Amino acid sequence: MSPFAAAVLAGLLGLLFGSFANVVIHRVPRKESIVRPASRCPSCGSAIAAWDNLPVLGWLLLRGRCRRCQAPISVRYPAVELAMAVLWALVAYRLWSDGLAWAVPAYLAVAFVCVVLTVIDATSKLLPNRVTYPAFPVVAGLLLGASLALGDLGRMQRGLLAALAVTALFLLLFLVNPSGMGFGDVKFVPTLGLALGWLSWPVLAVGIFAAFLLGGVIGVAAMVVLRLGRKSLLPFGPWLAAGALLAVLAGSQIASWYGHTLLRA
């Protein structure tokens, strides 16, 4: 299979899993089951027909409103589905092109977790244990399988060391300044550290640096535009996710560019 074909297939699957991500995003913060009952309108409680539940298309055909009560359906639903499709396509293309096809399932799982936690953290300032805790063993199992298939267990060892290192760093930051670093972030970073470290140390460095850079820039912008005080708490999970995904997609290239820039200086 070519990288392009892998990307198309992953993108189509991303639409379906984006629909499931919406279920997780809606129900997990409310401590509801993600399996039962079937999808229902939050306003009137009527069951959503299968054809109305088609990713993106269902929302467009309904014109963003419930078929039964005409209550508006948030644009977040198709946005999450589209974001998942695009990210899965990009991740699959990147890894397949780099000869890491066996690792694609693991990084699709990472992208899924990143999208879900980004939306939950941005809307409720939570990084739920029901997502952060199972994410690590799932990604670890998939990466172990990829390491065995590639005959390179060194990647797994490096990934576990990276997970330990970033967890220790974020735990230290939390202990030093609990008001500036949530414990949910500490529980999220082992999965990201494992995934980025499995690729390489430079990719890990890019991901962590990008998270702090993005979080800092947005934080300053929020203070200026929204007139928030320095003590206002802004969720950091979305920037951890954004930094990690940027590193997966372009971390090697960014690290290489930065290295060449330093050598020329």
Per-residue pLDDT tens digits for 61-105: 888 787 888 888 889 999 999 999 999 999 999 999 999 999 999
* pLDDT value at residue 208: 96
Higher pLDDT, 184 or 50: 184
Distances in whole angstroms, Cα of residue 68 to Cα of each of 52, 126, 140, 199: 11, 32, 43, 48
Spacing of C-alpha 164 from chain mean position? 20
Give the pLDDT band of residue 222 (cuts 50, 70, 90).
Answer: low
Mean pLDDT of 162-190: 92
CA-angle at 42, arms to 38 and 43, nearest 5°: 135
Predicted confidence band at 231 (pLDDT cuts at 50, 70, 90)? Answer: low
**What is the b/e burial string over 62-82, where b = at least 16 CB atoms within 10 angstroms of the residue's CB?**
beeebbbeeeebeeebbebbb
Lowest mean pLDDT among 11-15, 20-24, 129-133, 217-221: 217-221
- Residues 22 and 54: their CA atoms lie apart, in Å, by 12
Average pLDDT, the chain: 89
Return the percent helix, strand and coil in the chain, to nearest 5: 75, 0, 25
> Picking from 174-188, 228-242, 246-260, which range would have the lowest pLDDT averaged per residue?
228-242
> Is residue 35 very low, low, confident or very high in pLDDT (cuts 50, 70, 90)?
confident
Domain ranges of the chain: 1-97, 101-265
Percent of the chain with pLDDT over 70: 92
- For the cut 60, the answer to whether the pLDDT of residue 195 exceeds it is yes
Q: Rounded to whole angstroms, how far apart are CA atoms 170 and 175? A: 9
C-alpha 148/C-alpha 137 separation (Å) is 16
199 half-sphere exposure, CB direction, 13 A CA radius: 33
> Of residues 222 and 264, which shows the higher confidence score?
264
Banded model confidence at residue 213, pLDDT cuts 50, 70, 90:
very high
Contact 11, 104 (CB under 8 A): no
Q: Which pLDDT does position 155 carry in this prediction?
A: 97
CA distances from 225 to 7, 193, 203, 218, 237 (A): 38, 32, 32, 10, 21
pLDDT above 80 for 262: no
Tell me what pLDDT residue 182 has: 85
N residues, the chain: 265
Query: Per the structure block, which two tokens stand in for 73?
Result: 């359906």
**Pick the residue with more confidence: 230 or 224?**
224
What is the C-alpha separation between 109 and 53, in angstroms, rounded?
22
Strand partners, 72: 65
What integer pLDDT is reported at residue 151 of this predicted model?
95
Rounded Cα distance, 259 and 261, in Å: 5
User: Which pLDDT band, with edges at 50, 70 and 90, does 265 fall under?
Assistant: low
CA–CA separation, 201 and 221 (whole Å): 30
**Residue 157, both tokens:** 């060892």
